[in-house]
Structure 1
């Protein structure tokens, strides 16, 4: 069965592209072309925004009751749940996520988001009456923000689409989704499910494209809000455009998160936990905790345990259920990670496992060797810059105060963990580290709670009522003062 496509989803129909430009989807494992799909241009973006604009300004969706929109999204959720395996397979094929991770997170987590947002929407204060300070009642309404440009990255494509699409739909917005060129296949299945669920024409429009078309979408006068997940550099550029236009914007950006290992932590379960939080999705995750902080007195034990854990991980074909570390998404990403491994050595850090070169037994694909650096100073570039690959830096600290200082000594503030046998001590650390999310002896994303970052890790929040509110404007309606 071919995965090739020849149209975009615009206005509720499969629309012919404006040009014959194509995106080649290349397997990161085999380096072979697995699909060809249209590449969006400015003209395609214009058509998608026009469809979304008409659907918002003239269509039924924003004028439905919240309960009516909830019913349609419920139907979509049921269809999505029935297609989790197919969705996970598409993502593994297009961007190389290990199938174990794809079936754990790439498709189940987006479905869990849908269900969580539905629960929030059922209880959300869409319209409430308040007693005003002047004595009259005030009606406070949450109304849809308008046409939303949703721009997800390639690493967790459905996860980052759903965090924008579902709250936007429930709020009554219409949406233009611009998938990344590396991961254009999964949105086609999503579009089919939305169509089957009864989402009206023009409410969701999907055009896969590169940066130029993406920039055109961000600056488009028909767009009321931009929701972006990606690099901090791209986020700064998008934020500047939205600031100039006074356009609503939410940005979920990069991270360089720290995992603090306290001396009383049991290293066995700690290493199992770190294996996931530091190397999930082959290290291609914004929340990856790639700075491992260990006390000087316990430093060698942590380094040895981490090196043993990482060196035992299975690297290889992402379609193999036994694989824990797959390829990088593209050759450019492989080269980027290898440059950081070389840079770490130049900076004086010591490779304790991994290093440059292809992993054993592999002679093709965009793989790198999972690498652990010891003797890392937090000022080194490998400790300050987001590498987005399976490269970990173990950094020594003097005491708990020093560990917190090092964890906070970063431009980013997205995630983090502390590992300890003393839960209260862990909570104390958690309250002191300046990040948007934090875990004590675990790390997860609970879709009932807000997710987002401090500092250069972004603006705004996703998930929970806070995430739904990002897609609304708040209106106050004043009623007449009581007579007398």
Structure 2
């Protein structure tokens, strides 16, 4: 593992003393603050105002009025697409700030943060392109000769609840298509990542001031769980779209179910990478380490269960041990590093607890296992490969959200598929083989929303989402845009006989 000893630190970041309601920064009804702790220095980097339940009510009321008035939903898809493109342009002008904030919020090294922010800006433009091609009306001829018009209409007021591990990208997944569809949106950001949503709010404020987005259409709030639940249960909200843990998704679905509110969920994962016996290890090593340790494993799509046959176990274990231990980790402000610290102390303790539990269950740590000795500050967990894992162990069943990989042995191809599918999750996955047709056939047997053959492909302009308890609904592509429409059928009169 490469360790850097540079002492570079974070640029200063401004506090945010107000909340963003209906397109304007205004005073909160409360006086609580949320602190953002730099995961490298372990010091407070900035503070932002925490929203109250009263602030939520104000935001929902503003969204409800704007939606019901038709000031935004009444615009054409092409007009709204133009605004989405403008959002992308204004975010792009703030890439330096967003890159800095990405390091502070997630712990990813600065070069990784820069690439992530640029990709996220591109997602806004991809949504705008889908919106321009979207046809909200289709005429169908009935058996009686009359025409029925099938209309796609916006779902209404949307509560978009996002996680801390990729705020701008998740905003692009949720807020951009919701706005393109004509919805009004309350964006609720995570307390662990409060500043990226604030930058997005600055962009919206600029467009509201310019008359491009009507007042009331967009609010941005940062709040704790209790306040967030008041948003989910507010009868003025028509549609909740959430990305986060499966446990939180279950709670949101239960609350929304009490009033039959529309729900879209993108939840956790425990994705399997199946290495078949004919796989070329050089090809495996080109993508699998990154696929399991991206953002220090703080990604729902991380390939955290590696399945290998008994015949190739020792060879694969040795190769992966070398590969994971060689990933550059250290100061996130040093551009040569690929891995930084975890996002906070709570996350560090949780990940370390999973590693300790795996050892108690009889598994063996081949590399990593905790904080590197060379790093005396920051919430670091070294890339960790754990061997001797059974699929019934906790380390194989639950989402760790850190750079922790379980090596599981299978007997034959059918056993590999059974192990991969033996999970409450079904978000991502991979198959490694030199026979691409065989890989495609195997991918169809895996109960998961995305499977890569010989790689770890990340392209969020295509539909993305999970099976089973990894969620419901899709983000990305036209499928992601379609999540924010209701279908209405209008029967026009049949021609006179």
Instruction: Name the TM-score class by shorter chain.
Output: over 0.9
- Tell me if the contact between 2:84 and 2:125 (Cα under 8 Å) persists in the aligned partners: no
1:249-268 counterparts in 2 under 5 A?
249-268=263-282
1:161 counterpart = 2:171: yes
- The TM-score with structure 1 as length reference comes to 0.97
Q: Where does structure 1 differ by over 6 angstroms across 4 or more consecutive aligned residues?
A: none
Pair 1:443-2:448 in alignment = no
Aligned pairs for 1:214-293 within 5 A:
214-293=228-307
Equivalent runs, 1:287-366 vs 2, <5 Å = 287-356=301-370, 358-366=371-379
Contact 1:256 1:385 in 2 (8 A): yes
Counterpart in 1 of 2:8?
A: none
Counterpart Cα distance in 2 of 1:131 and 1:99: 56
Distance across 1 between alignment mates of 2:459 and 2:382:
31
Alignment match, 1:203: 217
Instruction: Judge conservation of contact 1:445–1:451 (CA < 8 Å) in 2.
Output: no
Aligned to 2:27: 16
Distance across 2 between alignment mates of 1:100 and 1:422: 35
Partner residue of 1:412? 425
1:374-424 per-residue CA deviation (whole Å, 9 max, x = no partner) reads 111111110111110011011011111111111111110000001111111
Query: What is the alpha-carbon distance in structure 2 between the residues aligned to residue 194 and residue 320 of structure 1?
Result: 32
Work out which of the residue numbers 105, 115, 118 in structure 1 matches 2:125.
115
153-162 or 71-80, which deviates more: 71-80
Aligned mates of 2:140, 2:351 — CA distance in 1: 55
Residue by residue over 1:159-207, the C-alpha shift from the partner in whole angstroms, topping out at 9 and shown as x without a partner, is: 1121000110000000001100011101121122223342221111001
Distance 2:323 2:178 in 1: 41
1:176-187 equivalence runs, <5 A: 176-187=186-197
Moved more, 206-215 or 93-102: 93-102
Partner SS, residue 178 of structure 1: strand
- RMSD, aligned α-carbons: 1.3
Q: CA deviation at 1:59?
A: 4.9
Distance 1:133 1:360 in 2: 75
C-alpha change, 1:131 and 1:287, in structure 2 (3 Å) is same
In the TM superposition, what is the alpha-carbon distance from 1:72 to its structure 2 partner?
1.4
Alpha-carbon contact 1:116-1:447 (below 8 Å) kept = no
Partner-residue secondary structure (3-state), 2:295? helix
Choose the corresponding residue for 2:87, options 76, 101, 119: 76
Contact 1:256 1:386 in 2 (8 A): yes
For the pair 1:26 / 2:37, whether they are aligned, the reply is yes
Do residues 472 (structure 1) and 482 (structure 2) align? no
Which runs of 5 or more structure 1 residues have no equivalent in the other structure? none
| Corresponding residue of 2:6 | none
> How far did 1:439 drift?
0.4
1:66 aligns with 2:77: yes
Q: Distance in 1 between matches of 2:321 and 2:51?
A: 44
**TM-score, scaled relative to structure 2:** 0.95
Distance 2:412 2:13 in 1: 57
- What stretches of structure 2 of length at least 5 have no aligned partner? 1-11
Q: Aligned-pair distance for 1:431?
A: 0.7
What SS does the aligned partner of 2:356 have? helix
